[in-house]
Amino acid sequence: MLEPLARTALLGFAHLLTGVRAIYDAPLPDRPCVYYGNHVSHGDFALIWAVLPADRRRRTRPVAGADYWEKGIVRTYVGRRVVRAVLIERERDKRAQDPIAQMSAVLTAGESLILFPEGTRNLTDAELLRFRSGLYHLGRTNPGLPLVPAWIDNLHRVLPKGELLPIPLLCTVHFGAPLAVADDEDKDAFLERARAALLARRPAHLEHA
């Protein structure tokens, strides 16, 4: 089968291009969880994936937009077979499945997810876009689900907007302590708390920029 070779090549390329390393504020959960990060590139999930321990990586799937990953034979193959993405239809009127149900089924099966709550790549000057509600609803549907903030640093400079060739630069994924949706927590309050937890993982030079 070609998929394991393709996965190895993808991970090798990510390490070669970015020298990506992980920083942990707390041990990673020892059960299915959601790693949620900032979204500046189509390659974001690959860096989170690349720094996870091998046994966890084998049981972790990225959540991605079906509209992007189902365009063309090669992209569909990579999305479905190589990275085993959970493909979500982002346009409501085209959905045949409930995205929260799709993701919950993966968690129930014993696998973790990589999710980007901004919902789309951040191509603005803002450090982080407002979070959409999916992270909250996923946490409410799966009580106690560990939600792990993972800030990806420097990837936006590896492939700047409008450039065709990547620039090799060191990148870091900074994992924070997991949080969960409280039983009586309001949606907006939780999303702000989750967003603040992710922003808190920024390198010091960004916090004061």
Identify the structural domains of the chain with CATH numbers, from first to last.
3-204 (3.40.1130.10)
Choose among 93, 76, 92: nearest CA to 84: 76
Report pTM: 0.90
Judge contact between 37 and 116, C-beta under 8 A. Answer: yes
Residue-wise pLDDT for 78-95, tens only, equals 889 999 999 998 877 777
Number of other CB atoms surrounding residue 179 within 10 Å: 17
The pLDDT value recorded for residue 119 is: 86
Average confidence score pLDDT of the chain: 88
- Partnered with residue 36 across adjacent β-strands are 115, 149
Measured in Å, how far apart are the chain's first and last C-alpha atoms? 47
Residue 20 buriedness (CB in 10 A; 0-12 / 13-18 / 19+): buried
